[in-house]
Amino acid sequence: MAANPPLVMGANGLLTPAPFAGEHFVLGRDGVQIEVNNVRTSSGKWKADGYLFVSHVRCVFVAPKADSSGLQSFDFPLAYVSGEKFNQPIFGCNNLSMNCFSVGEGGGPNGAMPPHGAKFYLKNGGSNTLLPLFFRLLEVTRIEQRRAAEAAQQAQYPAVVHNVLPQVSEVTKIVNTAYVDPSDPTTIYVTQPVGQDQVMRDEEKPYEPTGLKP
């Protein structure tokens, strides 16, 4: 996880994550509230309302503006997500919970830093479009990682596999076959919300999407 990834003005004047080169955004969802722990605020937690973007690399939560802590957005690499679960409490909003390792020094699955816990509360509408797409992207990411790890083990000089991303062709197929739930306000991006002319500069990147720290 990374705090305050770079943002740009996207389609329809919506504040949008600056993309990595070749990144493909799959969906966006308004009316989401985030709660995330183990962060550098006075309470150790952060809560905000905003917009959730999901690409084949990561999911990014963006608030309309930064609060007094200076936080406005969080980046969750799909390769570092675990323990994802959809919760339907008797009282309160349905929510998607997960853990995500930090991409900073000492982070990652083999680092000393514990993962962050996050919940995304879906305050408006259903989730039958959002959830299948999100879980499928996680599944494809993990399949590709396992394949790459197996190939590395079979090589004469095995290489360490940090993060292997799903092919964009596979992502396109996922989008084209997605179920659209009329009660779910999730937007499926047939056209990208931000152009590749607005990709992150090297000095802005919170991490390398094809080489996360182990």
Q: What is the pTM of this model?
A: 0.88
**Residue 210 within a domain:** no
List, for residues 26-42, the tens digit of each pLDDT value: 999 999 999 999 888 88
**Residue 213 within a domain:** no
**Residue 209 within a domain:** no
**Residue 211 within a domain:** no
Residue-by-residue DSSP string for 88-103: --SSS--EEEEEE---
More confident: 161 or 22? 22
Note the pLDDT of residue 213: 45
What is the number of domains present in the chain? 1
Report how far Cα 174 is from the mean position of its chain's Cα atoms.
Answer: 16
**Residue 107 within a domain:** yes
Note the pLDDT of residue 151: 74
**Residue 89 within a domain:** yes
List, for residues 62-118, the tens digit of each pLDDT value: 999 999 999 999 999 999 999 999 999 999 999 999 999 998 788 888 888 889 999
Phi-psi map region of 69: left, alpha, beta (phi>0 left; psi -120 to 50 alpha):
alpha
**Residue 129 within a domain:** yes
Q: Which domain holds residue 21?
A: 2-204
Dist CA 78 CA 138 (whole Å)? 6
Report the CATH number that the domain containing residue 15 is assigned in CATH: 2.30.29.30
List, for residues 183-195, the tens digit of each pLDDT value: 999 999 989 999 8
**Residue 44 within a domain:** yes
